[in-house]
Chain A
Amino acid sequence: MFCLVCRKIEIGAWIKTHLIAFKVPKRANLLYAIGGVLLFGVLLQILTGISIAIHYVPVVSKAFVSVNMFMRKFKYGWLVRSAHVNGASLMFCALYVHMFRSVYYRSYVGKRRRVWLVGSAIYVLMMCISFMGYVLPWGQLSYWAAVVITNFIDAIPLVGKWLRLFVLGGQAVRDSLLKRFFVFHCFLPFVLLFLVVLHVVLVHVSGQNDVISNRTFAIGSRVNMFPVYVLKDLVFVGFYLLILCALCLAFPSVFSNKLNYEPADFYSTPADIKPEWYFMHYYSVLRIFESKLAGVFVTGLTLLFVAALPYIHEDLSSDALKGLYRPSVVILFLSFALLGVLGALRLSYWLVVLARACVCVYLLFFLWPVFARLMRVIALNLVTWCC
C-alpha cells in the first residue's frame, strides 16, 4: 500500500530531481550551507515549542510559575526550554549570516527576486514570533518589553491609538495580551514553515547563483547536490547542534538577562531594560530619536528597504557601481553590527552621534543606486540642454 502511494505520487522521481540531481553551483562556498541549517532550526524550534506549550499557562498570575515549574520539576524540562530559548538566538545568528551571504553575492536579482521577497517576509515574521515568545515567560524584561513596544504603536499617526487597543485587548498589558501572544506564538510558526517551504521551492525553481556569476545554467559550472552538498549541509547541521548543545549544557543563560528571572512587577521598572541581542540594532535606532514617530518611521524604512533591495540594486551595469558594491555590503553589515553594540551601551551624546552616523550609512547603502541613477539622468539632461 505504502509503495503504491509512493509510486502514485512519484516520490522517487521527486527525490531524484530535488535532493539528488538538483544542480548546485560548483563555486558555492561554505556560507551557502546556512540555508539548510535554518530549515533544521525552524523544525527544532517547532518541536521544542510544542512540548513547552503543553506545560505553559497563559495567565498573568501563573505564566512565570508554569515556565519555572517546567524547567525545575519536569524531566529534561530545563533542556527543552534551554534549547528553545538558545535555539532562537542561534537561528537569528544563522539568519543574519544567510542574509549577508545573499546580499553579498547578489542572490536576489532576476528570477530570484521572488526568493528574496519571501525571505524578507520570513524575516519580519520571525521577528514577530520571537518577540511574542520573549513576552511569554512574564519576567520583568518580558513585561516591560511588551509595555514599551505596545506604547510605540501609539506613535503611528491616525490609527495608532486604535491599533494599540487592538493589540492589547485592554487598557494595559495584562491577561488579554498574554493570551493572544501565546496563541499567535503557537500559530504563526506554521505560517512561517509554509513560507520557508515556499522559499525553498522558489530556490529550486530558479536555481542558486554562485559566487561570481548570476547565470544559472552555465555549462560545467554545476554539480549534483548529492553527495557533496547534502553532506556539507548535514555537517553544518551537526555544527549547529554542537553549538546548541554547548549553549544548553554549559552556558544556558548566556543570551538572557538575569532580570528576566524575576517575575513581572507592574509597579517597578528595572533600571536597565534591554531587548535580546538580535533586536539591539532596532532598539538603538528607536532610542536615538527624540520623537517616537521618527524612530518608528526610520525603523519601518529600514525594513522596507530590506524588502525592496532587489528593486533598488537591480542593475549594476556600470563598472564603477560594480566595484563599489561588495565593499559597501561589508560596510553595511559592519554598521549594522555597530548599531547593535551601541544599543547595549548607556546613552550619551557621542553614542547618539555615532548611532545616527550608522543609521545614515545603513540608509545610504540603499539610496546610493538611486542617487547614482539620478546623477546620471541629471548629467545627461545637462549635456543635452547645454548642447
Chain B
Amino acid sequence: MLMPVLNIDNVELFYGFSCIIIAIGLGIISWPLASQFLPNAYASVDSKMEIDLRAICGGRCVTVNWFGTPVFVRNRLPREVRKARIVCIRLLKDRCARNANIDSKALAFDRNRCLDVRSENWLVVVAPCTHLGCMPNVTEHGWVCACHGSSYDLSGRVTSGPAATNLDVPKCVYAVNTLVLGA
C-alpha cells in the first residue's frame, strides 16, 4: 500500500493549510449566524403612508407614526415662516438642507426645507433628535430636545446644543390637503 511520506517541511505546510481551511470553515459557519442579526428585508422597505392635512390647523405640530419612525408635521403660521426665513445661513451649525426630496448639496434655506414653494407653511421632519434620538418638545421657537437641550428653529435646523445636524426631511409628496410620506 502506498502511503504519502511527510517530511518535516511538508508537515508545517500541512498545518498551515489546515489552519487556513479551518478559518474559512469558521467564516462560512459564522457568516449566516451573524447575518441574521441584521434587520429583516421587510423592515428596510420604504413604506408609503398618506396623511390628511386638513386635521392640522395653523400653528399646530402633529407627531405621526411612520412605520415606527415618529415624524413631525407642522403647519406653521405666516409669522413663523417669516421668522424661519430671516435666519442668516452663515450662523447655522449645519448648513446642509438634509432634504431627501432635493439635491443633497442644497443649503439649509427655509425654502429648501419646507414642502414646496406653494405650501411653504408645511414643515415635515423626522422627529428624533439627531444627537441621541430623544424626542424634542414643541416650543414656539421650534423644538427643544428633552435629553441634552439641543434646540431647533422653526425650520428644524439646529441652533444650539450638542446635536450636529439638522432634522432630516423625509421623502414625501404634497398633494392638495394630503401628504404622502415615503413616496
Give chain A's interface residues, CB within 8 Å of chain B: 144, 147-148, 150-152, 165-172, 174, 176, 180, 266-271, 273, 287, 290-292, 347
The 23 sampled A-B contact pairs (Cβ below 8 Å) are: A144-B147, A147-B132, A147-B133, A147-B134, A148-B132, A150-B133, A151-B131, A151-B133, A165-B38, A167-B37, A168-B39, A169-B37, A169-B40, A170-B43, A171-B39, A171-B68, A172-B68, A176-B43, A266-B70, A267-B135, A269-B135, A269-B147, A292-B131
Give chain B's interface residues, CB within 8 Å of chain A: 37-40, 43-44, 63, 65, 68-70, 127-128, 131-135, 145-149, 162, 164
A292: which B residues are within 8 A, CB to CB? 131-132, 162
**Of the residues A151, A170, A268, contact of B68 by C-beta under 8 Å:** A170
B162: which A residues are within 8 A, CB to CB? 290-292
A144 to B148, CA, bound (A): 13
A270 to B68, CA, bound (A): 19
CB atoms of B44 and A171 under 8 A apart: yes
Assuming A147-B132, A171-B69, A273-B147, is B37 touching A180 (CB within 8 A)?
yes
**Of the residues B65, B69, B134, contact of A269 by C-beta under 8 Å:** B134
* Interface of chain B: mostly helix, strand, loop or mixed: loop
A267 to B133, CA, bound (A): 11
Assuming A152-B132, A176-B39, is B146 touching A267 (CB within 8 A)?
no
What is the minimal beta-carbon distance from B127 to any residue of chain A, in angstroms? 8
**Of the residues B43, B132, B164, contact of A151 by C-beta under 8 Å:** B132
What is the minimal beta-carbon distance from A271 to any residue of chain B, in angstroms? 6
What is the minimal beta-carbon distance from A386 to any residue of chain B, in angstroms? 50
A271: which B residues are within 8 A, CB to CB? 146
B63: which A residues are within 8 A, CB to CB? 267
CB atoms of B132 and A166 under 8 A apart: no
A167: which B residues are within 8 A, CB to CB? 37
What is the minimal beta-carbon distance from B83 to any residue of chain A, in angstroms? 25
What is the minimal beta-carbon distance from A255 to any residue of chain B, in angstroms? 21
**Of the residues A165, A176, A270, contact of B146 by C-beta under 8 Å:** A270
A148 to B127, CA, bound (A): 14
- In the A-B complex, list the 6 residue pairs whose CB atoms are closest, starting with the nearest: A269-B146, A269-B134, A151-B132, A151-B133, A148-B132, A269-B135
A148 to B146, CA, bound (A): 12
Which chain B residue shows the least CB distance to A146?
B133
